[in-house]
Structures are given as C-alpha cells and as structure tokens.
Amino acid sequence: MNTSKLIIVAVGGQGNISAARVLGEAALASHLPVRMSEFHGMAQRGGVVESMVLFGEGKSYCIADGDADVLLGFEPSETLRAAKKCSADTIVITNTTPVPPYTVALGKAHYPDMDQALALMAGRVKKLVAFDATSLALRAGSALALNMVMLGALAKSGAVPLSPDLLQQTIEQKTRKQQVEVNLRAFRMGLEAV
C-alpha cells in the first residue's frame, strides 16, 4: 500500500501526543505499519506540540514540507503555522477555537483573522474542514476530550487508513478508564460534526 502521512499540531496540554498514540495503537492492532515522531519543545511551558504519524510503506519518521496527506490542527493559528506542510492534495481538518499565546493575551502580538486565513488556505488544499471542536469537547464532558473530537473528525474524513470502529475500540482499550466514556462521546461527536 502507499504511505499515508499525517501531521498533528497543537498547543501543549491539548492532548496531541495521546491522540497520536491512539492512531499508532490502532495501526498496530490492524497490522498496518506505522512510524511516529513527536516534537514537544517545552510544551508544558506553553509551547507548540507537533506529531507526525506515517502509515504504510516507508522508513522515514518525519514528513517534509508539502508532503503531508492530512494536517490535523487542534488550534487554528497552529494550523496556519503548519500550512507549508500542505500541498494541493492535502486534507486539512482544524479546530476553530483559538488558544491565544501569552504574547497575544497581553497585547504584545497580533492574533490573525483566522476566518480569512483559513479561507485562503482552503482555496489551496484539496479540502479544508473547520469546526468548533472545543465546544463539542465541552459538550461531551471535558475540554480535555478535544483530541478525541479531532480524531472523530479525522476518522470521518477517511483520510487515514483506520476505520471509525477500530479507532473507537482503541479508545476503549487504550485511553484512561475514567476518561473512556467522555472520550467515546467526544469521538462520536467529532465523527458526526463534519
């Protein structure tokens, strides 16, 4: 099979690494080769977290600019920051609720008009899906379930070779017991939202 290359971008604390882990475990369970790499430069201290997940044939652990098949953004300005990873064939799925960096919160930097930025991006990639995943996570029961909403939307897009059922099973088996119920609800909301 061909390789399918996914980049997940987020802010520290949004559950990027655990979302990637669910995808990795699901791939392992279905005997699909998978390679992942993570970059979390001081994420606990407000930085950016980036995961790369590569399914199928190949040996690299990372994805070059213009070579992502899917960009999954947990925060809109992080989706924008990662735009160079996309080509005209990329599917972009992004949350629309901003988490302004500290510099913006204090008026020292400008948070761009994301509607406009995403509209520009949408015209250049294969497909761009933008939705308010944070609200859905809160409705599912916890802001921490944002990553599961995003996985739901990813599953729905069909952009990665993992079925919604398989991901649901993996969430049941591999995420924290106390969180499973909320996680599954969040996953289904993401699945239905897009």
**Site for another protein, rule CB under 8 A:** 11, 21, 24-25, 28, 33-39, 41-42, 44-48, 57-67, 77-78, 80-81, 83-88, 90, 100-107, 109-113, 116-117, 120-121, 124-125
Q: How many CB atoms lie within 10 A of CB 143?
A: 14
Contact by Cβ (8 Å): 43, 50: no
- Least gap, CB of 190 to another protein (angstroms): 22
Strands, DSSP E only, in the chain? 4-11, 34-39, 48-55, 70-73, 91-95, 127-131
CB-nearer residue toward another protein: 101 or 188:
101
CA 69 to chain centre: 12
CB-nearer residue toward another protein: 68 or 182:
68
First to last CA, the chain: 27
CB-nearer residue toward another protein: 89 or 192:
89
- Least gap, CB of 165 to another protein (angstroms): 19
CB-nearer residue toward another protein: 16 or 188:
16
- Least gap, CB of 103 to another protein (angstroms): 6
- Least gap, CB of 116 to another protein (angstroms): 7
**Tokens representing residue 22 in the block:** 């669910």
In whole angstroms, what is the distance from residue 21 CA to residue 138 CA? 22
CB-nearer residue toward another protein: 50 or 191:
50
List residues bridging with 54 in a β-sheet. 5, 35
- Least gap, CB of 167 to another protein (angstroms): 15
Amino acid identity at 7: I
Contact by Cβ (8 Å): 161, 55: yes
